[in-house]
Amino acid sequence: MLGDLTEVEAGAVILPQFNDQASYGSLGGNMYDSGAKKGIDEFNKFAKSNRPLEWGKVLVTESGKKNPKYLIHVVSLAPGGKTELDSSARLVKLDSSKEFETVHKAFFKCLKEAQKKNIKTVAAPTMGYGIIGSLDASESAEAMLSAVKKFAKAGGKLTGISIIIYKDKDAYKDFKGQLERFSQKQANFIS
């Protein structure tokens, strides 16, 4: 859906983060300014105390506001571009051929963590697409929707999973098209 993650109704918002500190720019900064200061600062303290964090590390914090109540932080960003871990657990630029699987695994892990914490609804930004990612919107949608399928096949049960696209009508069309194709091909676990 087109929208703003700072305004969406959800139990949790998935927030991509750096492996050594919180992201206070872009989405992280917008969430911080919207009242989620507590959760972002908590992640920042955790990251600085335990750096470098492993790629894909997920940490759930209370946001510090009523909606969303929780932030699901996922380590998937590095300054300057696409990321993966090298042998020293440092994030490095990611080869675009790996980005699809990277997004798939990270989103799946976030959904599993939400269920463990009894969070019923989650909202996420597009992952792997945009300023940091190397996927186009359609590829991002396919990676994220395939993670939803895997989650459902593994018995995952959330009452709502929203992917929020911020001000990009072309990306919205791509995501909507992928969702329609995905829904036609796949079982009835998506509404």
Q: Is 3 exposed, middle or buried (0-12, 13-18, 19+ CB in 10 A)?
A: middle
Binning pLDDT at 50, 70 and 90, where does residue 127 land?
A: confident
Structural contact between residues 143 and 103, judged by C-beta atoms closer than 8 angstroms: yes
Residue 186 has what pLDDT? Answer: 53
Average pLDDT of the chain to the nearest whole number: 84
Q: Which amino acid is at 83?
A: T
Instruction: For residue 2, tell me if it sits in a domain.
Output: no
Q: Can you give the CATH number for the domain in which 58 is found?
A: 3.40.220.10
Instruction: Please count the structural domains in the chain.
Output: 1
Instruction: For residue 61, tell me if it sits in a domain.
Output: yes
Instruction: For residue 3, tell me if it sits in a domain.
Output: no
For residue 123 the two structure tokens come to 């909202």
pLDDT, one tens digit per residue, over 106-123 is 999 999 999 999 999 999
Of 23, 34, 123, 35, the C-alpha closest to 72 is 123
β partners of residue 124: 163
Residue 187 has what pLDDT? Answer: 42
Of 18, 130, 142, 14, the C-alpha closest to 76 is 18
Instruction: For residue 143, tell me if it sits in a domain.
Output: yes
Question: What's the rounded mean pLDDT across residues 89-117?
Answer: 79
Q: Rounded to two decimals, what is the model's pTM?
A: 0.85
Instruction: For residue 6, tell me if it sits in a domain.
Output: no
Instruction: For residue 125, tell me if it sits in a domain.
Output: yes
Residue 78 has what pLDDT? Answer: 53
Instruction: For residue 191, tell me if it sits in a domain.
Output: no
Could you list the residue range(s) of the whole structural domain that residue 97 is in?
Answer: 12-185
Instruction: For residue 4, tell me if it sits in a domain.
Output: no
